[in-house]
């Protein structure tokens, strides 16, 4: 059996079954907790491995409601649910089985109860572990391994999704492309390890400069993309200036000795020249390269305008 006992919440409003359960379920395999009512039980489900439901009160509807609350259709991990039910309670037994709960007939055989409880808890433990592994794989599939922001593929997917949503609901959508200035010089002078550290610190600065609802992604090399849902062009320019200043103020690399700057291109939908997500990306890219041509460490936008442009303060 397990090195540590499973934590089992016994829900028994009458507590008529509790003495027998305590005798049957030894502490080496099951650590028992007790709740008298549905609300009390629901408040404890995050702290236990399984729930043993002992219906016996007159309120069958309350038992059904508790069973439904304990077995949501969501794929997220939840405690194992085991129902002790008399053979004549056909409706309850079928309801429990339909919702993925284990059913044990009463009066129960002690050894059968222990084995079936343990099997149910073990199965749910394995499912919970599998769910965690799947979620980690999903996270890794959309995350850039170096910077820990989203990767290029996920950005492209979200760009299409957010553009369709903005079209459907007539909402604004802005895009900022950020490219570090003269980043090759950092790698050449200080090594790729230092360059990688700078990229990680810039990515962290970008995340601190935007809202939780915004998307930061590594677009490629030393270039990043920031997708701003429900944000019009003036708001995007405010965010872009905050990003530019944040990068300017970084003391990056080993011992904080490196200083970097960035050029930024901003585009926003709706605009008469932007009818597709590809056009939103293209116009932001054109604005970015105009910022490079005009001297770097500045923001350019689509359509062209001199807003928020600043002369380069230092070489990157």
Q: Is 123 helix (H, G, I), strand (E, B) or coil?
A: helix
Residues serving a catalytic function are: 222
State the SS3 of 20-39: HHHHHCCCCCEEEEEECCHH
Q: Give backbone dihedrals phi and psi of 211, rounded to 5 degrees, phi first.
A: -80, 165
Cβ-contact 225, 176 below 8 angstroms: yes
Tell me the C-alpha distance between 36 and 202, whole Å.
53
Burial pattern 58-81, b for ≥16 Cβ within 10 A else e, equals eeeeebbebbeebbeeeeeebbbb
Residues pairing with 229 in the sheet: 173
Beta-strand relationship, 173-180 and 80-86:
unpaired
- The three-class DSSP label of residue 186 is helix
Q: Where are the beta strands (DSSP E) in the chain?
A: 6-11, 30-35, 50-53, 80-86, 102-106, 173-180, 215-220, 223-229, 262-269, 299-301
């Amino acid at each position: 059996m397990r090195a540590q006992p499973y934590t089992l919440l016994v829900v028994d409003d009458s507590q008529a079954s509790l003495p027998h359960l305590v005798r049957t379920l030894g502490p080496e395999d099951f650590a028992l907790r007790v709740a008298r009512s549905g609300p009390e039980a629901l408040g404890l489900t995050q702290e236990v491995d399984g729930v043993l439901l002992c219906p016996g009160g007159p309120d069958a509807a309350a038992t059904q409601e508790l069973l439904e609350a304990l077995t949501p259709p969501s794929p997220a991990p939840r405690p194992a649910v085991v129902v002790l039910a008399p053979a004549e309670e056909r409706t309850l037994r079928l309801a429990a089985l339909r919702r993925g709960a284990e059913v044990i007939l009463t009066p129960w055989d002690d050894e059968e109860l222990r084995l079936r409880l343990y099997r149910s808890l073990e199965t749910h433990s394995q499912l919970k572990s599998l769910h965690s592994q799947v979620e980690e794989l999903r996270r890794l599939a959309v995350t850039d391994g170096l910077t820990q922001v989203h990767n290029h593929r996920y950005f492209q997917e979200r760009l299409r999704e957010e553009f369709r949503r903005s079209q459907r609901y007539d909402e604004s959508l802005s895009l900022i492309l950020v490219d570090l200035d003269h980043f090759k010089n950092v790698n050449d002078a200080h090594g790729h390890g230092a360059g990688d550290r700078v990229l990680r610190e810039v990515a962290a600065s970008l995340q601190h400069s935007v809202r939780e609802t915004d998307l930061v992604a590594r677009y490629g090399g030393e270039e990043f993309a920031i997708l701003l849902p429900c944000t019009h062009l003036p708001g995007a320019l405010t965010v872009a200036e905050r990003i530019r200043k944040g990068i300017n103020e970084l003391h990056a690399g080993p011992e904080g000795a490196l200083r970097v700057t960035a050029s930024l291109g901003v585009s926003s939908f709706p605009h008469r020249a932007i009818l597709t997500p590809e056009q939103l990306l293209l116009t932001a890219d054109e604005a970015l390269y105009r910022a490079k041509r005009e001297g770097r460490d500045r923001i350019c936008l689509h359509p062209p305008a001199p807003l928020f442009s600043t002369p380069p303060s230092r070489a990157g």
